[in-house]
Amino acid sequence: MSGPPQVLLHIGLHKTGTRFLQREVFGQLDPARFNVNPEPLWPALRQAVRHPDDPGRVARARDAVADWRASGDERTLVVSEPHISGDMYGSHHDYADNLALVRELFPEARVIFFVRRQSDWLQSAYRQHLAKGKAVPIEAFLNFYDGEFRPRVAREVYGARNVEALSLRFLAIYRAYADAFGDDAVFLLRQEDLRARPAAVKALIADALGLATLPDPPPSRGHNRSYSALAIHLFHPGVWRRYPAPGPGDAHGRRIPQWLNDLLGPLRRLRRGFIQHVFDRVLYYDWDLLARHGMRERIEAHYAEENAELERIARRQLAVVARSEEAVEGSAASGEDR
């Protein structure tokens, strides 16, 4: 694929290289050529995809995009908003509504979609939940009771968010976007490949942006890691509790009064900062939270076929870019020989 796109959408997933893309890639683009998450377009779109059932928010996103098109700005628009792929705590159930909206607003877009092995993604989502939500054991977060993963009875159970571990839609989201925008316009990237083959993944991202290479990254700066398992068990004692399989009466659980929640907010932020910037920097001791009850093995067996297909698609795209680079290098070498 050659030439810069008019619009590039990074649609997520959450917890899959977003900080890398936003800071090390999009944040380093030439502002004379690229317009990254501009206001008021990006905030309006962000609200619309977070609340796709709100006609007012959707209308404001349409107006913001219309204003951008009328502005005559010829730079490539880059929008990085992981929630476009859907609600991470709701198995991305609203991805189709958001797809319809961004397809309407940006029919010419190229799309970057980052995925990750589902077992690792679920564990990362749980650790993120603990940073802001009520501490419950990972079994309650994943609805694992009496030796089985179960459908959730409500968005919040026992006062905490929860997910359905076996209802993730990563492949379905990719296929829907490929159908809507075309195979050549949707770039499927895996976090595992970013770790194992960073040069190849960066070449594919550059291709999506219409660049020969990505700009130089900023000076190295340590990223905040997910909470260590040791920190979780020391500073979130609620994870030690054990809950029975919930029924409808357990939905939501006992809510904290708003005045108390407001009072506890600064203390939670203080705890989060202490864990990330003090405790885990001094003593980072981690282990696999999915090891209990064979949860990881069950999750990976459930998604084995889907992951094989995601890997096949991602590797095929990386191979296409590699062949293109080899062809360019070979042409350049031939010219030098002459």
Q: What is the pLDDT along the chain (338 residues), one digit of tens a residue?
A: 556 679 999 999 998 888 889 999 999 999 999 999 999 999 999 999 999 999 999 999 999 999 999 999 999 999 999 999 999 999 999 999 999 999 999 999 999 999 999 999 999 999 999 988 889 999 999 999 999 999 999 999 998 999 999 999 999 999 999 999 999 999 999 999 999 999 999 999 999 999 999 998 888 665 567 889 999 999 999 999 999 999 888 876 555 667 777 777 888 889 989 998 999 999 999 999 999 999 999 999 999 999 999 999 999 999 988 776 554 444 444 455 54
- pTM for the whole structure: 0.90
Per-residue pLDDT, 289:
96
Sheet of 7-10: strand order equals 34-36, 76-80, 7-10, 110-115, 186-190
Residue 224 has a pLDDT of: 61
The predicted pLDDT at position 338 comes to: 47
Helix (H, G, I), strand (E, B) or coil at 251: strand
Domains, the chain, in order of start with CATH, read 7-337 (3.40.50.300)
Q: How many CB atoms lie within 10 A of CB 88?
A: 21
Say what the pLDDT of residue 256 is. Answer: 64
The pLDDT, as a whole number, for residue 333 is 46
User: Cα-flanking dihedrals φ and ψ of residue 158, to 5°?
Assistant: 55, 30
pLDDT at 178: 98
Calculate ∠ Cα 314-191-117, nearest 5°.
85
Structure letter (DSSP) for residue 181: H
What CA–CA distance (Å, rounded) separates 285 from 260?
32
Contacts 24+ apart (CB under 8 A), 61-69: 61/101, 61/105, 62/104, 62/105, 64/40, 65/41, 65/105, 65/106, 67/40, 67/41, 68/38, 68/41
Q: Which residues make Cβ contacts (< 8 Å) with residue 145, sequence separation at least 6?
A: 139, 243, 244, 245, 246
- Cα separation, 264 vs 259, whole angstroms: 9
Q: Which residues of 27-46 are buried (b: 16+ CB within 10 A; e: fewer)?
A: eebeeeebbbbbeebbebbb
Query: Which residue in 225, 39, 236 sits closest to 136, CA to CA?
Result: 236
Residue 95: burial class (beta carbons within 10 Å; 0-12, 13-18, 19+): buried
